[in-house]
Structure 1
């Protein structure tokens, strides 16, 4: 299992190097699929999706120079024969799961059937999460702004056994101070990673490593 759980994307050379290490090849030789679904759960989602794909918004993610880049829209999958979309997923080296609304993304991960496929897919592909795309891989609830993951297996995918609190000290989320996030982390029964936008959590076969050129905190409840 290879997970690269970012706050804001591939925001610095250290995270980029970690991505290529996990891929086992240069990004330019890797095939990627982008899951934009969570973005549609927030205002002006359609335009945000366009700008993320074109590299006009945020840190690099889709626009890293992938060999190929396709879209995997989860809301469409239930209406399409599985044999139409599954081959592209099986051929992908990286699954890029964007940010947005956590609960909306979790619902469609389950409803599309992708959640059930992830355990086998993650044996060979790299899952790259951005914000909500990272948060849904946790086992428990976490929150930032109005984006929440209530505790419970139906509200997250439970791939990792810690919580992630992204966008620490980010000016667009004034409540996301380190102090406030530590208070939130203290209310949860599991370790929490509080990470800024220059930080990612790398998980390789259960081994967790922080990759950062910024600020992060591992909060373990007493």
Structure 2
């Protein structure tokens, strides 16, 4: 299984190179499917989402499709995702994204698909790669609703991601705060700034960064 779990997407050359290393083909031969579902419940403007898509466009993929699994039926999204070489799960509300992956039955398909496809995550899309996640952590760091519930995620990796380290938009997302909370999370935790990512290729885990990151636990 090959994954690239980013804080902010394809924002710098080392992260782009890491994706190229995973796919082992020129981008112009590959189809990317972007799943923006996590952004649906985020308030205010979506300039950041437009930036995420523009970063994909700049890389000249053979095709960039946009597929919101909450907006169309399985009969529509499944064949389009099957055509993709890279499944790119975008940012937004983590719990909302995971709930739609469950409701839509996409979760059941990913195990087989990821034998041949690349999983690319951005923010919430990276967070859901873990086994379980608690609302209270995203409430603390990112201001998401806190239902005091732990929920099942995709279970693709045995660690958790805290994106947007040191971001001015998330003032609680700082190393001293993370150091206090990380022991509760009971798994390895990677805190990543927006120039950082975790690359997973089988059993090999590698940090890709031109910025700041830290591992806990």
TM-score by length of 2: 0.89
- Residue 43 of structure 2 corresponds to 43
3-state SS of 2:151 partner: coil
Matches within 5 A, 1:122-201: 122-141=114-133, 142-143=137-138, 144-147=141-144, 150-153=149-152, 156-201=153-198
What does residue 98 of structure 1 align with? 90
2:21 equivalent in structure 1: 21
Moved more, 20-29 or 130-139: 20-29
Contact 2:69 2:77 in 1 (8 A): no
CA distance 1:216–1:87, shift in 2 (3 Å): same
Quick one: distance in 2 between partners of 1:12 and 1:22? 16
Counterpart among 192, 212, 217 of residue 214 in structure 2:
217
Q: Aligned pair count?
A: 210
Using the size of structure 1 for normalisation, the TM-score is: 0.87
| Unmatched tracts of structure 2, length 5 or more | none
Residues 188 and 85 of structure 1, relative CA distance in 2, 3 Å threshold: closer
Report the CA distance shift for 1:200/1:49 in structure 2 as closer, same or farther (over 3 A): closer
**Contact 1:196–1:215 (8 Å) recurs in 2:** yes
